[in-house]
Amino acid sequence: MREDPSGHFILLEKVTESVRRLNRMQLIRYNEQNETVYPTDMGRIASNYYINVGTMSYFMENLKPHTSEEMFMYHLAHADEFKQLDARKEEFDELKLLMNDIRYMTVDKTCFNESYTKVLVLFEVYLRQINLRTFSLIADLAYIVQNSARLLRAMFEIAMNKNYANLAKIALRWCQILDKRLRPDSHPLKQMTINSFVGKLTNQN
């Protein structure tokens, strides 16, 4: 500290380390010779949707042109934003009941205490408008819905930027499902209604 009382060189070292890491992840372009930084499309997407660096790196590595819907939602649930959502002891009983009635998500019922499983279960709970009893699950549900909205939009833009047509279609579909709070098997025209009766379109009596 005597040689650097202001901490300038320590700060410079930390900034340079961060810039090099972002450059390796292709979120920026860094020219070490003249120390200039240039934005990239992936970096803009991460910035626009406030995506965690770890999450962005995971998406770029795992989102492929022919990713299935099942794997698409699996990757969404593995975002760093959800890592702290491991199931609490007081949530175990209700989560087990919810998992036994799961319809649209593919989950491993032996891993009900894992964060990604909890995310998928609560995502479906939101779409099906199931009432929860545990307060912590209600709070986590709101957090998951809020963050999933921007993550899905980011995944859509990643797919569009990489020209992954099938992946873009899947991402857009799930953006609409979450935005309109539809079930995955709902009739497409139901997104044009607001809590209204669709009648024969959904084979409801």
At 66-94, the pLDDT tens digits run: 999 999 999 999 999 999 998 888 988 89
138 and 174 fall within a common domain:
yes
Is 154 part of a structural domain of the chain?
yes
How far is Cα of residue 121 from the mean position of the Cα atoms in its chain?
A: 14
Q: Is residue 150 part of a domain?
A: yes
CA–CA distance, 9 with 138 (Å, rounded to integer): 46
For residue 199, being part of any structural domain is answered with no
Whether residue 188 has pLDDT greater than 60: yes
Q: Is the domain of 71 the same as that of 7?
A: no
Give the range of the structural domain holding residue 54, as residue numbers without chain letter.
50-184
The 8-class DSSP code of residue 3 comes to S
Whether pTM > 0.95 for this model: the answer is no
Q: Are residues 84 and 177 in the same domain?
A: yes
CATH number for 60: 1.10.3380.10
Query: Domain check: are 91 and 18 in the same one?
Result: no
